[in-house]
Structure 1
Amino acid sequence: MAKTRWGIISTARIGTGKVIPGIQRAPSAEVVAIASRDLARAQEAARELGIPKAYGSYEEMLDDPDIEAVYNPLPNHLHVPLTLQAVAAGKHVLCEKPVGLDAADAEKLLSLPQDRLVMEAFMVRFHPQWLRARDAARSGELGEVRAIQCFFSYYNDDPANIRNQLDIGGGGIMDIGCYPIVAGRFIFEAEPQRVIALVDRDPHTGVDRLASAILDFGGGRRTEFTCSTQLTPLQRVDIVGTKKRFQITIPFNAPQMEAVTVLTDDGSKLGDASVVPEMIHPVDQYAEQAEAFSKAVRGEIKLPYGPADAVQNMKIIDALFRSEKSEAWERV
Structure 2
Amino acid sequence: MGVLGCADIAVRRILPALVEHRSVRLVAVASRDGARSERLAARFGCAAVSGYRALLDRDDIDAVYVPLPPGMHHEWVAAALTAGKHVLVEKPLSTTYAQSAELVAMADRLGLALTENFMFLHHSQHAAVRDMAGEVGELRVFSSSFGVPPPHPASFRHDPLLGGGALLDVGVYPLRAAQLHLAGELDVLGACLRVDEATGVDVAGSAVLSTASGVTAQLDFGFQHSYRSVYALWGSRGRISVPRAFTPPREHRPVVRLEQQDRITEVTLSADHQVGNALDAFAAAALSDTGRPALGEALLRQALLVEQVRKAARVVTC
Instruction: Indicate whether the TM-score tops 0.5.
Output: yes
How has the CA–CA distance of structure 1 residues 152 and 304 changed in structure 2, closer, same or farther, with 3 Å as cutoff?
A: farther
Which TM-score applies when normalising by structure 1? 0.89
Would you say the 8 A contact 1:197–1:213 is kept in 2? yes
SS in structure 1 at match of 2:249: coil
- In structure 1, what is the equivalent of residue 16 of structure 2? 21
Does residue 133 of structure 1 match 2:98?
Answer: no
In structure 1, how many angstroms separate the alpha carbons of the residues matched to 2:173 and 2:204? 15
Q: Which runs of 5+ in 1 are unaligned?
A: 1-5, 328-332
Amino acid at match of 1:212: S
Summarize the alignment of residues 94-243 of structure 1 with structure 2, pairs less than 5 Å apart.
94-112=88-106, 113-137=109-133, 140-156=134-150, 158-243=152-237
Q: Which residue of 2 aligns with 1:290?
A: 279
Ranges in structure 2 where 5+ consecutive residues have no aligned partner: none
Q: Distance in 1 between matches of 2:24 and 2:290?
A: 14
- Aligned to 1:66, the other structure's residue is in SS state coil
Cα offset, 1:304, TM superposition: 8.4
Aligned-partner SS, 2:93: coil
Shift in CA distance, 164/322, structure 1 to aligned 2, threshold 3 Å: same
Q: What's the CA shift string for 1:302-332, capped at 9, x where partnerless?
A: 35842332222121111112122599xxxxx
What residue identity is the alignment partner of 2:5?
Answer: S
Taking only the aligned residue pairs, the percentage that are identical comes to: 28
Given that 1:151 and 1:236 are in contact with CA atoms closer than 8 Å, whether structure 2 keeps it comes out as yes
- Equivalent in the alignment of 2:296: 307
State whether structure 2 residue 55 is matched by structure 1 residue 61: yes
AA aligned to 2:38 is Q
Number of residues paired by the alignment? 314
Distance 1:90 1:46 in 2: 23
CA contact (8 A) 2:151 2:157 kept: no
Encode CA deviations 1:247-275: one digit per residue, 9 max, x unaligned. 11110111123322222221x22xxxx32
* 1:71 aligned partner, one-letter code: Y
Aligned-CA RMSD value: 1.9
Distance (Å, rounded) in 2 between the aligned partners of 1:257 and 1:27: 20
Deviation track 1:141-161 (CA, whole Å, cap 9, x = no partner) reads 332222111111112164421
- The question of whether the paired residues in 2 share the 8 Å contact of 1:26 and 1:288 is answered with no
Residue 44 (1) aligns with residue 35 (2): no
Stretch of structure 1 that moved more, 89-98 or 146-155: 146-155
Q: Per-residue deviation at 1:130?
A: 1.4
**What SS does the aligned partner of 2:198 have?**
coil
C-alpha change, 1:88 and 1:7, in structure 2 (3 Å) is same
The Cα shift of 1:28 comes to 1.9
Deviations 1:114-135 (A, max 9, x none): 5201011111111101122233
